[in-house]
Amino acid sequence: MTTEENVPTPNSDDARADLDCLIVGGGPGGLTAALYLARFRRSCLVVDAGNSRAALIPRSRNYPGFPPGITGTDLLERLRQQASEYGARIEQGTVERIERHPLGFLVSWGGQRRIARRVILATGIEDTLPQMDDAQQAIAAGHLRLCAICDGYEVSGDNVAVYGEVECAIGHAAFLRTFSDRITVVGYGEHDACEQAVALARHHGIELIRDRVASLRACADGIELVTASGDIRRFDIIYPCLGARFRSEVARALGVDCDADGALEVDAHQQTRVPGLYALGDVVVGLKQISVAIGQAAQAATAVHNGLEANPWPGSR
């Protein structure tokens, strides 16, 4: 293993970065990038903390190519197997730091350090889940849902609640009206723009409860919601609208641009403004879907491969 003390320089005789690319994150995006790079005969290592959002998917029915749908864990296992078959290596670990290095980047995790000529960040986001016992079971049962684009189709006439900050919740609720006419918003928020959102709710026939949620509890075939003022309601499905944390800290420490929420900004080849550092999937600005992450992974991996041919050391031109 290379240590900081004996880090070579690009001009020395033994100048070698020991990896063409290190991929941070082993969700669908990171694993697809690894598959492409391994098939380009590049040395690549995936370091993964093991908290893919995809692992929460009870059954995805909008991911192309699987007519009966596929569970998130099954998809991840297939992707790991496919990338590994071509020589990509996958290690468990949480990357703590990425530093620029004359040969590329010095990446540190769990007491290990590796030099890689390129780095791809595919670290995803972490949904803010409601305070609820057994939230994971409710997600697995499809009563608690986090992505209306993914599974709105399956709502089909159900009694649905959306809750959170009122404008955000009404926006989600209006989207869900395509799939059910029994939509309720439990929302909080004071400022003026709410009026427009309230008019939108009225226009769509959405019931609006201006309150906070005090508690959620799994019940027979649904979730019982108790408002702060004590009303008790039962819903088939609840979509919390509580935001998410972008796992972009290691990139931001390097000076990568991001939006107000922490989503990373990239160019058309998925490169951040730090030469040689790429980002893709949920952690970048844009639609949070598996097919998007996978498409971006194809772009990033191809750009990494071509860039290594043209310019082995990032920033050296």
Interface residues with ligand FAD (CB under 6 A) are 24-30, 47-54, 56-57, 60, 62-63, 94-95, 122-124, 127, 139, 146-147, 150-151, 247, 250, 281-282, 288-291, 293
Taking alpha carbons only, the member of 242, 296, 243, 300 closest to residue 271 is 300
**Min separation Cβ 150 and ligand FAD, Å:** 3
Return the number of the residue (71 or 311) whose C-beta is nearest ligand FAD. Answer: 71
How far lies 163's CA from each of 14, 62, 90, 211, 250, in Å?
Answer: 58, 24, 38, 9, 31
Residue pair 40/305 in contact (Cβ under 8 Å)? The answer is: yes
Q: Are 26 and 82 in contact (CB under 8 A)?
A: no
Q: Rounded to the nearest whole angstrom, what is the least distance from the CB of residue 190 to ligand FAD in the complex? A: 29
63 vs 198, beta carbon nearer ligand FAD = 63
Residue nearer to ligand FAD on the CB measure, 54 or 308: 54
Q: How far is the CB of 241 from ligand FAD (least distance, A)?
A: 13
Nearer to ligand FAD, 167 or 282 (CB): 282
> CB 127 → ligand FAD: shortest distance, Å?
6
How near is the Cβ of 289 to ligand FAD at its closest, in Å? Answer: 4
CB closer to ligand FAD out of 197 and 284: 284
Minimum gap (Å) between residue 158 Cβ and ligand FAD: 16
Name which of 122 and 201 has its Cβ closer to ligand FAD. Answer: 122
Give the nearer residue to ligand FAD in terms of CB position, either 51 or 73: 51
Our CB check for ligand FAD shows the closer of 123 and 209 to be 123
Tokens of 205: 């026939």
Separation CA 219–CA 150 (nearest Å): 24
The least CB distance from residue 107 to ligand FAD, in Å, is: 9
The string of DSSP letters for the chain reads: ---STT---TTSTT---SEEEEEE--SHHHHHHHHHHHHTT--EEEEE-S--GGGG-S-BSSSTT-TT-B-HHHHHHHHHHHHHHTT-EEEE--EEEEEEETTEEEEEETTEEEEEEEEEE---EEE---S-TTHHHHHHTTSB-S-HHHHGGGTTT--EEEEEEHHHHHHHHHHHTTT-S-EEEEEE--STTHHHHHHHHHHTT-EEEES-EEEEEEETTEEEEEETT--EEEESEEEEE--EEE--HHHHTTT--B-TT-PBP--TTSB-SSTTEEE-GGGBSS---HHHHHHHHHHHHHHHHHHHHH-SSTT--
CB of 316 to ligand FAD, least distance (A): 27
Minimum separation from the CB atom of position 308 to ligand FAD (A): 22
Looking at beta carbons only, is 109 or 197 nearer to ligand FAD? 109
